[in-house]
Structure 1
Amino acid sequence: MTTVGTTRTRQGIGVRLAALARVVELGSGRVDPELLTGSGQLLLRAGDRLKLSSEHTVVALAGGTGSGKSTLFNAISGLELSPTGVRRPTTARTHACVWGLDGAGPLLDWLQIQWRHRFARASALDRGEGRLHGLILLDLPDHDSIRALTDTEADRLIQVADLVVWVLDPQKYADASTHRRYVTELAGHDAVTIFVLNQVDRLEPEEQAECVSDLADLLRREGVTDPVIVTASALTGAGVDELKAVLAGTVTRRRAAVQRIEADLDRLTARLTKAMPAEEAPAAPVSVDEARRIGLTDALCDAVGVPAVGEAMENVYGVRAAEWLGWPYARWAARLRPDPLSSLRLGGLKEEIRGLAGGAVSAQPAEVDNAVHALADGLATGMHEAWRNGIRDAARSHADRLPGVLSEELSEVAPRLDRVPTWWRLVRIWQYLLVLLFVAGLAWAGTALAYGVFGVGKPPAALEFFADAASLPWVGLMMFSVLGLGVLSATAARNVVAMRAETERERLEREMRRRVAAVAGELVIEPVERELARYDEFYAAMRGVQG
């Protein structure tokens, strides 16, 4: 049952660690680097520990100078393994005593315990000690050692041990270095922390009870909710069996390694949650909704001047059509007037119209940037500042390219209005034919008046037919008809041009809008949606870390 329960526990902690790995991966640039570094270290430490022996429990005896830690280590092991004495610090290197050496080697290597400081309880000595099978007991260097090397080693092993036993003496159990550097940092690790009040042989029973009560109150104030305190005297052996019983219970359950990782993970999760509270994070869509897409497209179309370009195209189309399709006499008269573009009264669009005739369209960078900002701010409402900045950065990830790409795309679709449709040429030929007919009519009428009415002389043989005065009414009717056909064809051509210009404007604006939407989707919306997906996955991972 214990093995099954331990397996399930390991599976549960594995799920949380996998979620933490996603938090580290997705939180880069969004979460405090110190937190991410701590998370990475925990993942590495937990991964290494879970791959090593689950049949062994690493218990570290930690304490300050003079606490009797090494003496207690020897008392538990039943052997004089760790040096003791009045010289301080006594323990320069970590000593390890192993109950059940089989399979413990890789774990001891990971703990970096030197071979000459590893000791195994031989079977002959283990009679009555089978309950401790699987225990790896470490005697750490004094954590307040004046030797920097041993002090660092103590810190390292306190961080990786499955269970930490703090050995305190009655005179220095409230020592600030222990509580400030370690106990407060291990708050929430109640299940994997034991406090031993050693050297109680120096105390009267009343003093012992007072010290235990005072120590318990101190630990609770520092965040240890339910402290486990054992009183002992390594010198007399009092309380050693009780401590062994506590250690045996921990070793038998085979859960200390996972409990230590869980405690470390819980503490780290609390810090992560405080920095990036998942419960306060608003739900974010994983894709930009259609309304926002349309809003961005509208704003970018305004920034690039799509409506103005459409209007300019229609006006230019009309002006150039008038130049080509108007009744020639009216066009010739119009040449005496100012530039036709001036008569359109388009103000600031005049230059755009001239540019459009060459197929050029330009985007306004400031307006493009405003449109992108508006989208990002709308999507990031209520998010943590780091994620708001992330959404903005994603939206502006191609800000330097966006105006140029928009201009290039729309310049490709903008028509070159200096091109002349074939039907315009045909209409112009027809109109000039009518002009020639009208001129011919004038010549005919002049000939008839000169020779048939005023009798200026005898007409040449070639003009006799045209000199008949009786032809004047018919010539006049022909000339009037020619003028009428000219005006009618010019009017019809203008109407056709107006309809074609409006249709072309609508087609042009649709195509320009389609291209603007495509560019916005590729350079703005896709990066934003990736960031939104990252945001969603990050907080899903945060909830997974919380369990």
Structure 2
Amino acid sequence: MSVGTTQTRQGLGGRLAALSRIVELGPGRVDPKLLTDSGQLLLRAGDRLKLSSEHTVVALAGGTGSGKSTLFNAVSGLELSPTGVRRPTTARAHACVWGLDGAGPLLDWLQIQWRHRFARASALDKGEGRLHGLILLDLPDHDSIRALTDTEADRLIQVADLVVWVLDPQKYADASTHRRYVTELAGHDAVTVFVLNQIDRLSAEELAECVADLNDLLRREGVDAPVIVPTSATRGEGVDELKAVLAETVTRRGAAVQRLEADLDRITLRLLKAMPAEGVPVPASSVDDARRIGLTDSLCDAVGVPAVGEAMENVYGVRSAEWVGWPYTRWAARLRPDPLNSLRLNDLKDEIRGEAAGAVSAQAAEVDNAVRALSDGLTAGMHEAWQSGVREAARSHSAELPRLLSAELSEIAPRLDRVPVWWRLLLVWQYFLVLLFLAGIAWLGTALAYGVFEAGTLPPGLEVFGETASMPWVGLMIVSVLGLGLLTAVASRNFVMLGAGNERDRLEREMRRRVGAVASTTVIEPVERELARYNEFYSALRGVRG
């Protein structure tokens, strides 16, 4: 095998490997029929490349009465294939091999029956050595009324290294041949030869006209440079010219690779038509930070993270009023309906959990919108099939996403029913001030009763409480105690609200972190896998072009 042929096979191997990746990555994105055809080509290429590269399989194909078998016998120089007026004459493919060594596995793969295999000892035939390595097949008529032979002809036309179409002057423009085979093999110029047989029935002028007409017809059907060999198998005219064409193909030892390349080129064109590779976006396989943050923000809004934080802060403030507020205000408030009952905040932790769960449930549509916005932003310009794929990947966990978000928020719901130690100390301090206030009121009342109104005489040792001179100081003490209590309540309230704000910030940060983690697992990761699949597919598509 020449260096050029080896390099060609290596190049073909790379393209076939790329096609294999396309077949792996294409389901759900590429037409199943196209993937099936690609898979069949891979199987055929793998089988053919493992078999003899020293032999070239040439198939004589044609319709009923074209003279294939007669031409087969003329090229081989032996009466190997039956001829006659009965149609179809050839029911099974016949093979003539120039150089049988190493051809057995290839003939087995071609499914040529043993009784239809013939060998030419080319070394004994003058001038036949140039055909060494040729496996010439006489195929059944492709338009046979026998379904079996028709199927066999189709199969061997697909796997032959070189196809020689044997046409006759009456039916060389036959629609079935051109529509079923010639058009399908457009682009296979290097591995397709056309023989206009039975030229003994034509005059020189008619022959020239037929050849020109056939040439124009083939070019219109996509055969850029058709090779047309006029022959008369019965008289031997043109047979040597056909042998020369076959000898040139056999000598190059590259027809098998050329045929596979032509088949690969055709499947590549179909792939590029279905999935254009030019001008398509090449997104990163990972979602950028800006889109991650945008998705997290949207999901946080959808599940009501700000509302949960605000509810927590409000509930925290209401709860603190029971402990650090001015006692007189609390006692007065008891004469009105309990705001906690009106807000249904008796069980604060459950309320926070209910707030989170309710937001997720109520905003399920917004969760879906947030996910869709991410996929739409990533798929601009993509083929519709891949846009759908990214959307499906993004929404692959949409049914469970609200539940997962709710569960995450419930886990971090704060214990707002707990009472900080400093709240309890402030409560003790406030009640101490209340006692001082009551003591001051009692002292002032005693001074009024016994010092001003002289209601009686105090017991020994308690006279000081009845002295009127102490009344201004007692009044000052009462006012000071009230002021100190109010100042304590105001300061404590400010500290509580500051702490509530900090707790809200911490809670919202933790919520965002958890929402982001859920989004990464259920949305980002599936999307990134699909983007990686997309990029790998188009990389393989560019690779299969060679």
**TM-score normalised according to structure 2 size:** 0.95
**Distance in 1 separating the partners of 2:39 and 2:516:** 41
Shift in Å at residue 360 of structure 1? 4.8
Instruction: Give 1:23's aligned residue.
Output: 22
Alignment of 1:119-518 (within 5 A): 119-122=118-121, 125-340=124-339, 356-357=351-352, 360-362=355-357, 363=360, 364-461=363-460, 463-464=462-463, 466-518=465-517
The one-letter amino acid paired with 2:287 is V
Shift in Å at residue 444 of structure 1? 2.6
Residues 386-410 of structure 1, C-alpha deviations (whole Å, 9 max, x = no match): 0111111111011011111111112
**Distance in 2 separating the partners of 1:455 and 1:167:** 145
For the Cα contact (< 8 Å) 1:357–1:418, is it kept in 2? Answer: no
**Distance in 2 separating the partners of 1:249 and 1:351:** 96
Shift in Å at residue 466 of structure 1? 3.4
**Distance in 2 separating the partners of 1:541 and 1:388:** 19
Q: 1:462 to 1:93 in 2, by over 3 A?
A: farther
Residues 476-517 of structure 1, C-alpha deviations (whole Å, 9 max, x = no match): 232222212211110110111121112112211111112111
For the Cα contact (< 8 Å) 2:393–2:523, is it kept in 1? Answer: yes
For the Cα contact (< 8 Å) 2:340–2:346, is it kept in 1? Answer: no
For the Cα contact (< 8 Å) 1:356–1:417, is it kept in 2? Answer: no
**Distance in 1 separating the partners of 2:268 and 2:352:** 63
Residues 298-356 of structure 1, C-alpha deviations (whole Å, 9 max, x = no match): 11111011112222222211111122211100111122234536999xxxx99998964
Shift in Å at residue 124 of structure 1? 6.0
Shift in Å at residue 32 of structure 1? 0.7
**Distance in 2 separating the partners of 1:532 and 1:376:** 10
For the Cα contact (< 8 Å) 1:75–1:237, is it kept in 2? Answer: yes
**Distance in 1 separating the partners of 2:282 and 2:266:** 25
**Distance in 1 separating the partners of 2:182 and 2:10:** 29
**Distance in 2 separating the partners of 1:352 and 1:476:** 43
**Distance in 2 separating the partners of 1:489 and 1:524:** 51
For the Cα contact (< 8 Å) 2:187–2:262, is it kept in 1? Answer: yes
For the Cα contact (< 8 Å) 2:57–2:134, is it kept in 1? Answer: yes
Shift in Å at residue 188 of structure 1? 0.7
Instruction: Give 1:74's aligned residue.
Output: 73
**Distance in 2 separating the partners of 1:148 and 1:339:** 92
**Distance in 2 separating the partners of 1:382 and 1:191:** 38
Shift in Å at residue 20 of structure 1? 0.7
Residues 441-486 of structure 1, C-alpha deviations (whole Å, 9 max, x = no match): 2223323333333232333457555344443333323222221221
Structure 1: runs of 5+ lacking an equivalent: none
**Distance in 1 separating the partners of 2:531 and 2:156:** 41
For the Cα contact (< 8 Å) 1:361–1:411, is it kept in 2? Answer: yes
The one-letter amino acid paired with 1:320 is R
The one-letter amino acid paired with 1:542 is L
Residues 345-396 of structure 1, C-alpha deviations (whole Å, 9 max, x = no match): xxxx999989644575121211100000111111111111101111111110
**SS class of match (1:398):** coil
For the Cα contact (< 8 Å) 2:15–2:544, is it kept in 1? Answer: yes
**Distance in 2 separating the partners of 1:294 and 1:352:** 33
**SS class of match (1:361):** helix
Shift in Å at residue 280 of structure 1? 3.1
**SS class of match (2:501):** helix
Instruction: Give 1:33's aligned residue.
Output: 32
Structure 2: runs of 5+ lacking an equivalent: none
Q: Which moved more, 1:58-67 or 1:357-366?
A: 357-366
Runs of 4+ in 1 over 6 A off after TM superposition: 341-344, 349-354
Shift in Å at residue 170 of structure 1? 1.0
Shift in Å at residue 439 of structure 1? 1.6
What's the % identity of the aligned pairs? 79
For the Cα contact (< 8 Å) 1:58–1:163, is it kept in 2? Answer: yes
**Distance in 2 separating the partners of 1:523 and 1:171:** 68
**Distance in 1 separating the partners of 2:340 and 2:532:** 51
**SS class of match (2:184):** helix
Alignment of 1:56-75 (within 5 A): 56-75=55-74
Number of aligned residue pairs: 542
The one-letter amino acid paired with 1:205 is A
Instruction: Give 1:4's aligned residue.
Output: 3
**Distance in 2 separating the partners of 1:351 and 1:124:** 106
What is the RMSD of the two structures over their aligned residues, measured on CA atoms?
Answer: 2.1
For the Cα contact (< 8 Å) 1:69–1:139, is it kept in 2? Answer: yes
**TM-score normalised according to structure 1 size:** 0.95
Q: 1:151 to 1:352 in 2, by over 3 A?
A: farther
